[in-house]
Amino acid sequence: MKILVAMSGGVDSSVAAAILLEQGHDIAGVTLRLWGGESDSGCCSVADVDDARRVAQQLGIEHWVFNFAEDFDAKVVEPYVDAHAAGQTPNPCIECNRHIKFDRLLRRSGQLGFDALATGHHVRRVRVGSRWALARAVDTAKDQSYVVHMLDQAALARCVFPIGEMAKSTVRERAAALGLRTADKPDSQDVCFIAAKGGGRRTFLGSRIGLHPGRVVDTSGQTLGTVDAIELVTIGQRRGLDAGGVGERRFVVDIDAVSATITMGNASDMLMESVDLKGLVWASAPVLGPVRVQSSAHGLAVRGRIDDSRVTFDEPQRRIASGQSVVFYDDPSGQIVLGGGLATGSPAELDPSGR
């Protein structure tokens, strides 16, 4: 099989390429140049492109670099900035997977005559009856099914994930045995287009949209204090806010960007019984009924029920920030990805009971 391997410059994609080569596939590596601005971390740095190129040389395979910077800015960076301006909490890595890796790159691989696209994600592609499904990785601590939940049947038919059956420790051992330069390279944890050494998110957003002060109130509307940048606040935040001094712990339960108002409440105010969603995507057909629900990359999957575009939890859960992905897994195993969507609306709207 002719397979294009997305090589980020990390150990996972390096080993994925090595495994496919050992299996006898005709492979080539590609690294995406996504960000033209300053970057000192993540998959957009010059060092990562160089690491990927050097690994390809070690394996004796062809290596290309595709410049998708224009699409990345339009599909990932600009929506990220707009979401913060609207008081939302976006996940740019998910949007990069949605629009760049498993759309633009997947289409480009087909145009170049490749049968499949491989990545170093810790997920598994499995058969469920006559259809493909995305399953959690064997190494549950490294499972990345949450961030690639948007894959449908057409995409799953043309994607392979060579390391989904391996523990992360085994991946590193394999890389070391092969003498790959990425064997001990740390995993990237940061947003790749925000330079951590250059002031981080505050500087990045401030240069794009400016930062604006806001008023901090309690659930009764009484003023508690102020915040210097409402765009940097997220649901559930407790620290770094002028919330009236000592006493019962308070959390951000609502962000109204229009009135520049942040509402803080206690632990019980942080709970919600349901969440409304937009942009629903499904691995196969739409699902109604009992599911497992996960709202963060390594969060606990809890039980709930899908009814159209709303998920109602079996037990009240911590509020989910608008803009965050909510991913559904099969019940009761919680191993197979069914689909997902984006949380929408303010917490007050999400939970009419006012909890």
Query: Is 297 domain-assigned?
Result: yes
Between CA 310 and CA 274 the distance in angstroms is: 7
Helix, coil or strand: residue 333: coil
Q: CB of 231 within 8 A of CB of 205?
A: yes
Give residue 311's Cα distance to chain centre.
20
Query: Is 205 domain-assigned?
Result: no
Across the range 110-135, mean pLDDT stands at 97
Between CA 110 and CA 77 the distance in angstroms is: 26
Between CA 97 and CA 301 the distance in angstroms is: 21
In the chain, the number of structural domains is 3
DSSP state of 264: E
Query: Is 136 domain-assigned?
Result: no
**pLDDT number for residue 42:** 54
Helix, coil or strand: residue 57: helix
**pLDDT number for residue 244:** 65
Query: Is 127 domain-assigned?
Result: no
- How is residue 92 written in tokens? 């740019």
Same domain, residue pair 342 and 254: no
DSSP state of 346: -
Same domain, residue pair 227 and 305: no
pTM summary value: 0.93
- Identify the bridge partners of residue 117 per DSSP, sorted by sequence position: 4, 159
Query: Is 132 domain-assigned?
Result: no
Q: Is the pLDDT of residue 263 over 60?
A: yes
Same domain, residue pair 46 and 77: yes
Which of 200, 234, 266 lies at the terminal end of a domain, its last residue? 266
CATH number at residue 337: 2.40.30.10
The residue among 120, 96, 15 whose CA lies nearest residue 59 is 15
CATH number at residue 68: 3.40.50.620
**pLDDT number for residue 348:** 38
**pLDDT number for residue 188:** 80
Same domain, residue pair 298 and 235: no
**pLDDT number for residue 241:** 86
Same domain, residue pair 241 and 313: no
At position 286, the amino acid (one-letter code) is: P
Query: Is 151 domain-assigned?
Result: no
128 backbone dihedrals φ, ψ, rounded to 5°: -125, 100
Same domain, residue pair 332 and 282: yes
Query: Is 79 domain-assigned?
Result: yes
Across the range 121-146, mean pLDDT stands at 97
Whole-Å CA distances, 264 to 86, 162, 303: 18, 45, 27
Q: CB of 235 within 8 A of CB of 313?
A: no
CATH number at residue 224: 2.30.30
Across the range 171-179, mean pLDDT stands at 97
Instruction: Provide the domain limits for residue 223.
Output: 211-266
The string of pLDDT tens digits covering residues 6-61 is: 999 999 999 999 999 999 999 999 999 998 765 545 555 788 999 999 999 999 99
Q: Is the pLDDT of residue 63 over 80?
A: yes
Which of 251, 266, 281 lies at the terminal end of a domain, its last residue? 266
Give me the half-sphere count of Cα atoms (radius 13 Å) on the Cβ side of residue 290: 6
Same domain, residue pair 299 and 232: no
| DSSP track, 281-310 | EESSS---EEEEEE-STTPPPEEEEEETTE
The string of pLDDT tens digits covering residues 177-201 is: 999 999 999 988 778 888 777 788 9
The string of pLDDT tens digits covering residues 278-306 is: 999 999 999 999 999 999 998 999 999 99
Between CA 178 and CA 20 the distance in angstroms is: 14
Q: Is the pLDDT of residue 104 over 60?
A: yes
Across the range 70-87, mean pLDDT stands at 96
Q: Is the pLDDT of residue 72 over 70?
A: yes
Q: Is the pLDDT of residue 351 over 50?
A: no
Same domain, residue pair 218 and 289: no
pLDDT tier at 242 (50, 70, 90 boundaries)?
confident
Same domain, residue pair 316 and 331: yes
pLDDT tier at 260 (50, 70, 90 boundaries)?
very high
pLDDT tier at 246 (50, 70, 90 boundaries)?
low
Same domain, residue pair 227 and 345: no
Which of 266, 296, 331 lies at the terminal end of a domain, its last residue? 266
Query: Is 287 domain-assigned?
Result: yes
The residue among 181, 200, 178 whose CA lies nearest residue 189 is 200
DSSP state of 189: -
Same domain, residue pair 333 and 296: yes
Give residue 234's Cα distance to chain centre.
16
Active site residues: 96, 192
**pLDDT number for residue 349:** 41
Q: CB of 255 within 8 A of CB of 235?
A: yes
| DSSP track, 207-226 | HHT----EEEEETT--EEEE
Same domain, residue pair 54 and 166: yes
Q: Report the relative pairing of strands 214-218 and 261-265 from DSSP bridges.
A: parallel
Q: Is the pLDDT of residue 352 over 70?
A: no
The string of pLDDT tens digits covering residues 311-332 is: 999 999 999 999 999 999 999 9
Between CA 42 and CA 62 the distance in angstroms is: 23
Q: CB of 29 within 8 A of CB of 64?
A: yes
